[in-house]
């Protein structure tokens, strides 16, 4: 097998396709923000902690430093075009949920709203933020989570029904509905 060297700055492209989330936040004036992120992962089951990495110039980051809360919204193929709109540059204070034609609904435990069209929501309070190169890692404790009815099968996400959106890079996504069992 022949391996060719890849520029280490592009090595993150090999950790793909990545689950993509929409993070919703709110600022101290009560203005709502939404943006997609694919540098994301669970980091602890007990306590339940999730992480994502954001550049510090994002409105999401600014809101999180102000209010220390966020919601991880799990999108599906059905709203991929709308997810993309939430990632466009809007002036600070503009609500990307509205811009994308999505619907915001109240969260149970945190002040940022969640997105109705997303199939699951993890309501989080910030545990810590750590600088990591050109991004900061934001770790949140999940204080409440919900999922649309009938989309779990044997305790796992039913990818046939949900079709999660996986980010390959740039405008390229993989829709993860191909299930392969090892045994």
Ligand X SMILES: Cc1cc2nc3c(=O)[nH]c(=O)nc-3n(C[C@H](O)[C@H](O)[C@H](O)COP(=O)(O)O)c2cc1C
**Under the rule (CB under 6 A), what is the footprint of ligand X?**
20, 33, 35-39, 53-55, 58-60, 84, 87, 89, 135, 167
Closer Cβ to ligand X, 53 or 120, answer by number: 53
Residues 12, 10, 64, CA angle at the centre, nearest 5°? Answer: 50
- Shortest separation between residue 90's beta carbon and ligand X, angstroms: 7
| Least spacing, CB of residue 120 vs ligand X, in Å | 17
CA distance 50 to 72: 9
Comparison of 52 and 162: residue with beta carbon closer to ligand X: 52
CB of 107 to ligand X, least distance (A): 18
* DSSP notation for 70-132: EEEEE-BGGGHHHHHHHTS---TT--HHHHTT--EE--SSSSS-EETTSSEEEEEEEEEEEEE
When the beta carbons of 4 and 9 are compared against ligand X, the nearer one is: 9
Among residues 81 and 109, whose Cβ is nearest to ligand X? Answer: 81
Cα→Cα distances 84→13, 60, 74, 77, 130, Å: 19, 16, 14, 11, 27
Min. distance of Cβ 105 from ligand X in angstroms?
19
C-alpha span between 9 and 133 (Å, rounded): 11
Half-sphere exposure of 162 (CA within 13 A, CB side): 22
Question: C-beta of 166: minimal distance to ligand X in Å?
Answer: 9
Closer CB to ligand X, residue 35 or residue 71?
35
């Amino acid at each position: 097998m022949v391996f060719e060297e890849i520029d280490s700055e592009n090595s993150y492209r090999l950790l793909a396709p990545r689950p993509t989330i929409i993070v919703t936040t709110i600022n101290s004036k009560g203005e709502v923000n939404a943006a997609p992120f694919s540098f994301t992962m669970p980091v602890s089951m007990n306590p339940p902690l999730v992480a994502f990495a954001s550049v510090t110039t994002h409105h999401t980051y600014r809101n999180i430093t102000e209010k220390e809360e966020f919601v991880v919204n799990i999108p599906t193929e059905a709203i991929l075009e709308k997810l993309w709109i939430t990632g466009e540059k809007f002036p600070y204070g503009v609500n990307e949920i509205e811009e994308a034609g999505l619907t915001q609904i109240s969260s149970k435990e945190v002040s940022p709203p969640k997105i109705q069209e997303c199939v699951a929501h993890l309501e989080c309070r910030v545990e810590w933020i750590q600088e990591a190169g050109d991004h900061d890692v934001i770790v949140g404790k999940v204080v409440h989570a919900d999922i649309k009815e009938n989309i779990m099968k044997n305790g796992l996400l039913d990818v046939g029904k949900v079709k999660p959106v996986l980010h390959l890079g740039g405008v390229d996504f993989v829709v993860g509905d191909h299930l392969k069992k090892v045994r």
